[in-house]
Amino acid sequence: MSSIPAESRAAPTVEEVIAVGFSGRGGVCFELNHFMQLLLAALGFDAFLVPGSMFRCPRGGHAITVVRLQKAESQGPDGLYLLDVGCGNPLDVPVPLHELPHRRQAGGCEYEFRALESTDTGTNCLVSDPRSTHARFQIGGSFLRIDNDDDNKTEQKKETVRCDFELARCDFADFGEMMTHIFTDPASELLRVPLLFRYLQHGPDPNLHEWVLIHGMKFLVAGRTKKQLTTYQTYDEILPVVMKHFPTLDEGELRAAFRQFEKVLQEEMALFKF
């Protein structure tokens, strides 16, 4: 996104979402989760999008795929599963929304999906929108920090809402306003700092899962219980690392994006001088 000249940026069309999905290069939630929803629907599944928020962005700043698996009447209620393939955080299995809470472990931290109570929303809560019905809570601190003994006990109890969402069907067009902001507004977080995530190893054994997360100039390699965090000083330093772990990216486009991120960084540093 950041490699594209500002005057040429635009929210993606459905045709562009399909092209991104088949390219295998990755994308943002509006592209990856919508492609997943279209793919599952084409295979006959009852798959739909729901509106969410991440990191306290407005409602609809995150799109999530949900699948309803119908059961015979004698087998009980239908199953609802969340498939968030564009969240920039580890999510190694479909989340059974009909069997909450659902807790998993990644990067030495735990995360838990819960149905929200009425007391969970409001101006003093970490949940972004009062219409949200569910949330993903991060437990035990952040992936992108190095724990020490002094604050370990506090961090183990700390909970942060990483994502909240409303279990309400949406069309892709319903995200139009937020997509335009995220793809074109210079204030958009995704145009100000790089965020990349992918699994390196995946399979039936969660102990063998390994993934990488790049946010800004921080590079994290993690598994279920362990993590290794490296902080670089410049975007030039982290560029080879990004290319190694995300080989489908175009190096020229990546360099152009990093020049834009560096420009944003310099502008922010200039503000702090006064």
Residues 42, 44, 46, CA angle at the centre, nearest 5°? 100
In the structure encoding, which two tokens stand for residue 97, read together? 């929304």
Residue 256: how many CB atoms within 10 A of its CB? Answer: 14
Query: Residue 234 corresponds to which amino acid?
Result: T
What residue segments make up the domains of the chain, in order of their start? 6-272
Who has greater pLDDT, 142 or 112? 112
d(CA 228, CA 231): 10
* Average pLDDT score over residue span 103-121: 82
pLDDT reported for residue 149: 44
Q: What is the pLDDT of residues 44-69, one digit of tens each?
A: 999 999 999 986 678 889 999 999 99
pLDDT above 80 (res 187): yes
Minimum mean pLDDT range among 13-17, 116-120, 176-180: 116-120
d(CA 132, CA 182): 21
Please state, for a pLDDT cut of 90, what percent of the chain lies above it.
Answer: 55
pTM of the model: 0.87
Q: How confident is the model at residue 166 (pLDDT cuts 50, 70, 90)?
A: very high
Q: How confident is the model at residue 123 (pLDDT cuts 50, 70, 90)?
A: very low
Core vs surface per residue 145-171: b (16+ CB within 10 A) or e: eebeeeeeeebeeeeebbbbbbbeebe
Please check whether residue 34 is in contact with residue 172, taking contact to mean a CB–CB distance below 8 angstroms.
Answer: yes
Domain 6-272 has CATH 3.30.2140.20: yes
d(CA 129, CA 133): 9
pLDDT reported for residue 122: 45
Please state, for a pLDDT cut of 70, what percent of the chain lies above it.
Answer: 87
Q: What is the pLDDT of residues 205-237, one digit of tens each?
A: 767 778 999 999 999 999 888 889 999 999 999
Mean pLDDT score of the chain: 86
pLDDT reported for residue 43: 96
Who has greater pLDDT, 170 or 208? 170
